[in-house]
Chains A and B, each alone.
Chain A
Amino acid sequence: MPRIRLGDRVDDGVNWLVGHMSWFFDAVRTVVEGLYDGIYAVLTAPEPLLLAGVLAVAAWWLRGLVAGVLAFAGFALVDSMALWDKAVSTLALVLVATLVALVVSVPLGIWAARSKAVSAVVRPVLDLLQTMPSTVLLIPAILFFGMGVPAGVVATLIFALAPGVRMTELGIRQVDAELVEAAEAFGTPPRDTLLRVQLPLALPTIMAGVNQVIMLGLSMVVIAGMVGTGGLGGAVNEAIGQLDIGLGFEAGLGIVVLAVYLDRMTGALGAQISPLGRRAAAKARTAGTAKLRNHRPSPAVALAGVVVLALLAGGLGVFGPSAQTGRATGTDVGRGKKITIGHIPWDEGIATTFLWKELLEERGFDVTTTQYAAGPLYTGLATGQIDFQTDSWLPVTHAEYWKKYGGQLDDLGKWYGPTSLELAVPSYVKGVDSLADLKGRSPEFKGRIVGIEPSAGMMGLLKDKVLKEYGLGGGYEVVDGSTPAMLAELERAYAKKEPIVVTLWSTHWAYSDYDLTKLKDPKGAWGKGDGVHTLARKGFAGDNPEVGAWLKDFSMTEKQLTGLEAGIQRAGKGGEQDAVRAWLRANPGLAGKWAPVAPVTGSGGKSGANGVSNN
């Protein structure tokens, strides 16, 4: 078979779109961001519990007292897990995605219901959008819309569009043909037939579609978290990236609370707003006896309750948390300038990212850090969405990314190295000191070498070169996975004292936590080793000369790095920056050395270090 270069065409197409249609994507982006910001601002204005109250009253009105109480309890739980802001951000994201999805899908569904040709075209396109793995769509979404909410909304939207269109089409087609004919027989114009007969009768089905759109949107939230949408999806991604099961569970639970609430509410809303649903409800009410648990406030009472709570909420919001706390110090170089740092969930990356977050915040910058997978991270840097990242292994490990994006990036230099890549076994596995010793012992290790992300450069090196060099190809299979999964596997095997071979690199905290043997590489198959570089978007150093200079001069010793990594590992998820502060206190002078405040004021370089001790 000839190789059809379909992928190249897609690449060309995407490049063309990025080059020629940017005005369109910018417009979409502005609209989506505006919507999101608006909804987010409204939802975060009130105190969490007040908003929970508003949502609970809505649940009471739509489904009854029990639902109201449960809704309040659920949202109170989210708040108590300190996930409120993230949950609201996710809620806003899903609402925007749903809104846009409906604006697109309902008219499209109506059109498809009225024209067989449209239906025949729309169906396969929807199938394609819905079944194409969503991660495949994420990177183009970043190229078009940049990192963050718009890309997340668009990815969610594409995924969630299909049920909206399908259910609208189905609902309209299901309306009894005799009823449509009756409308026409009395001279109803087509538009009125649609609005007064077809849509009202199709409404229950359409609402089921809306429900599906929301549910699919929520299930996309986690994947969309990979493009930096933040929220609960981002929290889940970060947590699983760092093997923090507890936090992952909490964030997951938050998503569940949102999902159940939205699911039940849209279901009940369908019954409330559709004439047939109201009719059925009225019938049920006259049939059954009125009980307290079934009591619903009348719409007027419910609305009044919501308005009162909302006013109360809005009023408190004005005096509440909106007061910004600024850190005014004498070393304010940044003057609130925003800097975005991205990182992959590798330990030295996390350590230096939070180190720089702390250093830059001390110097008056407004720093955001977000965790990404390597692909989106480089894409984000290349498109200027991310200012810099500190964890680029060059020239070997990240060679593929450098090849693709190098021209759009500035290399701010190596701050650590040389690193080394290696396979490692626990030291209780006797007689294995070098890669050559693995040969013939594969049954002992069940024939597996536990690897990390298949996209990582060292995995390619291992499979293509190292195994061949030592003749291990036949006996061992390299298991693709992720760094956290590899570490979890190592911990499990270590606890049971089972033999295991893992891919590791130096320096890594695992060497200080576990007693491991680095396997020697006498043939030099792994190469000379990388330097860890800091990469910035094109022009960052020019825009921020001080920061650019600091990053260029930055370097760490192995002792410093392992010490910092171990501190962060001990502090656990969420405590990174505290660990950095503690470590900086224990190592005075380093902050001043890495990020000297320019002596414009004449107070001398020392003041930078003093600034740190304010904490």
Chain B
Amino acid sequence: MSSSRLETEHLYKVFGRRPGDAVTRLEQGADRDELRDDGSTAAVIDASFTVAPGEIFVVMGLSGSGKSTLLRMLNGLLEPTAGHVRFDGDDLTALGDRELRALRAHRISMVFQHFALFPHRSVRENAAYGLSVQGVPRAERERRADEALALCGLAGWENAWPDELSGGMRQRVGLARALATDADLLLMDESFSALDPLIRRDMQDQLLELQKTLKKTIVFITHDLNEAMRLGDRIAVMRDGRIVQTGTAEDILVRPADDYVASFTQDVDRSRVLTAAAVMDPETHGDEADCDCPTATPDTPFTELCALSARLSHPVAVLTEDGELAGVVRRQRLVGLLGDRQGAAEPCDSPRVPDRAALTGGKLTARA
């Protein structure tokens, strides 16, 4: 596992009395509500995942799902009740307080939901905070802080105070503070949730832009699936302390692990996420690509597929770069994905001639 930057293995966190016993019971299959009756709260249950270097790993879940607790075990702010966190070969659970602090000062940094800027320090002093903990001399840490601020688009604001900045700018300071220490691992706890939608989009774009050059390993917590889809190379969905599914945005959308995940994906704007490769049917009959109709490639976005499909009377053929047929996309499937549920077509108990139905004035539309 030396290739992975960050790895967790059967991680548990239980608050309350006798947490050790609670873990044993959870391992034997007890559920969260049984434990709650005994006065302990299982915040994270059996979480295992691996985050590759340079990857943005998003943990998504509603409030109370345990995602913030999980994040705080990744940098040792909370001690796991059971299980291991390994980062670059170090087992965090085996480290002492002092070593953990050194790790947090140098290699892991964090961005907070409500920015957590120190109101009694200027923007520059805030950005340089991690460096001052490391004991970097003043001149150097100010230079590096200014660089990080410039990277986040805050050049010229070094001498301002946090209370003079807007929400988005404050979070840029928070981001600059986390970047200034040159940590490899960035933990972001609902970092954009407190911002209004437009600014949030800006910040997401900026994070993706920065990530292209910085290639940090990022664990990003959010309750917003759209944000998870935009940012995440891979996404873990949490529910009641457990990770119910880990996968790419497409996996989550197209192959939800259970109804819970599926219900989550209802409101997602699929057209932004899905591509031909995700929706095509790879079982082909060999006769689809023999016409001159327009075709798609595996990377063709969902919206373009819809446009193509509307113009064609048969399924859209998906060709690879070499011109090989990779699969076909059926209109039925496209329409199903726009709705909230897939599955086999249900037979109709009183089939009608489509033309007549259209003539009788919108009855079909009403039934659909």
| Chain A residues in the interface with B (C-beta under 8 A) | 176, 178-179, 181-182, 184-189, 192, 197, 200-201, 274-276, 279
> Which residues of the other chain, B, contact A187 by a CB distance below 8 angstroms?
100-106, 130, 133-134
**What are 24 A-to-B residue pairs whose CB atoms are below 8 Å?**
A178-B113, A178-B114, A179-B116, A181-B77, A181-B112, A182-B110, A182-B112, A182-B116, A184-B104, A185-B112, A186-B177, A186-B181, A187-B101, A187-B105, A187-B106, A187-B130, A187-B134, A188-B105, A192-B133, A197-B118, A200-B120, A201-B119, A201-B120, A279-B161
B181 with A178: CB separation less than 8 A: no
B133 touches A184 (CB 8 A): no
Q: Does B222 contact A (CB under 8 A)?
A: no
A186 CA to B112 CA in the complex, in Å? 12
Encode contact with A along B166-182: 1 for CB under 8 Å, 0 otherwise: 00000000000100010
User: Chain A's nearest CB lies how many Å from the CB of B78?
Assistant: 10
Please tell me if the beta carbons of B75 and A185 are within 8 angstroms of each other in the complex.
yes
Tell me, rounded to whole Å, the shortest Cβ–Cβ distance linking A202 to chain B: 11
Interface residues of A, dominant DSSP: helix
Judged by a CB distance under 8 angstroms, whether B309 is at the interface is no
Other than A274-B120, A279-B119, give 13 A-B pairs with Cβ distance below 8 A: A181-B112, A182-B118, A184-B104, A185-B104, A185-B112, A186-B105, A186-B133, A186-B177, A187-B101, A188-B101, A189-B101, A279-B161, A279-B163
Q: Which residue of B lies closest to A192 (CB)?
A: B133
A178 near B161: Cβ-Cβ < 8 Å = no
Interface centre among A189, A192, A200, A279 (most CB of B within 10 A): A279
> Do residues A185 and B110 form an inter-chain contact, with CB atoms below 8 A?
yes
B interface residues, tally (CB under 8 Å): 28
Give A191 Cβ to nearest chain B Cβ, in Å: 12
Mask, B95-131, CB within 8 Å of A = 1, is 0000011111110011011101011110000000110
**Chain A, Cβ-Cβ closest to B181:** A186
Q: Which residue of B lies closest to A277 (CB)?
A: B120
Closest partner residue, chain A, to B116 (CB atom) = A182
| Nearest 6 interchain pairs by C-beta | A187-B105, A275-B120, A182-B116, A187-B104, A185-B110, A187-B101
B-side residues, CB < 8 A to A, are 75, 77, 100-106, 109-110, 112-114, 116, 118-121, 129-130, 133-134, 161, 163, 177, 181, 187
In the assembled complex, the Cα of A547 lies from the Cα of B328 at a distance in Å of: 124
Q: Do residues B120 and A186 form an inter-chain contact, with CB atoms below 8 A?
A: no
A189 and B105 CA atoms in complex are apart in Å by: 10
B120 touches A185 (CB 8 A): no
B138: min CB distance to chain A, Å: 15
Q: How far is the CA of A279 from the CA of B164 in the complex (A)?
A: 11
Closest to B183 in A: A186
A-side contacts of B100, CB under 8 Å? 187
Q: How far is the CA of A181 from the CA of B187 in the complex (A)?
A: 13
Contacts of A275 in B (CB 8 A): 120-121
Do the beta carbons of B129 and A186 come within 8 Å of each other?
yes
Q: Of B109, B119, B121, B161, which is within 8 A of A186 by CB?
A: B109
CA separation between A182 and B103, bound complex, in Å? 14
Chain B residues near A279 (CB-CB < 8 A): 119-120, 161, 163
For B102, the chain A residues whose CB sits under 8 A away are 187
Q: How far is the CB of A275 from chain B (nearest CB, A)?
A: 4
A188 to B133, Cβ gap below 8 A? yes
Whether A179 pairs with B110 at a CB distance below 8 angstroms is no
- Which of A185, A189, A192, A200 has the largest number of chain B CB atoms within 10 A? A185
Shortest CB-to-CB span from B313 to chain A, Å, is 59
Q: Which residue of chain B has its CB nearest to the CB of A177?
A: B116
CB distance from A586 to the nearest CB of B (A): 73
The closest CB in chain A to the CB of B103 belongs to A187
Q: In angstroms, how far is the closest chain A Cβ from the Cβ of B75?
A: 6
Contacts of B113 in A (CB 8 A): 178
Contacts of A188 in B (CB 8 A): 101, 105, 133
Contacts of A182 in B (CB 8 A): 110, 112, 116, 118
Q: Contacts of A185 on B, CB cut-off 8 Å?
A: 75, 77, 104, 109-110, 112, 187
Q: B130 to A186, Cβ gap below 8 A?
A: yes
Complex: A184 Cα to B101 Cα, angstroms: 8
Residues of A within 8 A of B129 (CB): 186
A181 touches B116 (CB 8 A): yes
Docked CA distance A275–B125 (Å): 13
In the complex, chain A residues whose CB is within 8 Å of the CB of B101: 187-189
Closest A residue to B177 using CB positions:
A186
Contact A276-B119, Cβ < 8 Å, known A182-B112, A185-B109, A186-B104: yes
**Among A181, A184, A187, A276, residue most surrounded by chain B Cβ atoms (within 10 Å):** A187
Q: Least Cβ distance of B352 to chain A in Å? A: 62
Chain B's closest residue to A176 (CB) is B116
Closest to A276 in B: B120
Residues of A contacting B163 in the complex (Cβ-Cβ under 8 angstroms): 279
CA gap between A112 and B119 in the complex, in Å: 24
Task: Give every chain A residue within 8 A of B112 (Cβ-Cβ).
Answer: 178, 181-182, 185
Q: When chains A and B are docked, how far (Å) is the Cα of A185 from the Cα of B181?
A: 12
Cβ of A94 to closest chain B Cβ, rounded Å: 30
In this complex, what residue of A is CB-closest to B115? A178
Minimum distance in angstroms from B336 CB to a CB of chain A:
44
Q: In the complex, are the beta carbons of B104 and A179 less than 8 A apart?
A: no
Distance in angstroms between the alpha carbons of A200 and B161 in the assembled complex: 16
Query: Which of B103, B104, B116, B133 meets A178, CB within 8 Å?
Result: B116
Q: Which residues of B contact A276 (CB under 8 A)?
A: 119-120
Report the bound CA distance from A279 to B75 in whole Å: 33
Residue of A nearest to B100 (CB): A187
Question: How far apart sit A274 and B103, CA to CA, in the bound complex (Å)?
Answer: 32
Question: Which residues of the partner chain A approach B109 to less than 8 Å between Cβ atoms?
Answer: 185-186
Q: Which residues of B contact A186 (CB under 8 A)?
A: 104-105, 109-110, 129-130, 133, 177, 181
Please, which residue of chain A has its CB at the minimum distance from the CB of B106? A187
Q: What is the CB-to-nearest-CB distance from A204 to chain B, in angstroms, rounded to a whole number?
A: 11
Instruction: Report A-chain residues with C-beta under 8 Å of the C-beta of B177.
Output: 186
A281 to chain B, nearest CB (A): 13
- Determine whether the beta carbon of A179 is less than 8 Å from that of B118: yes
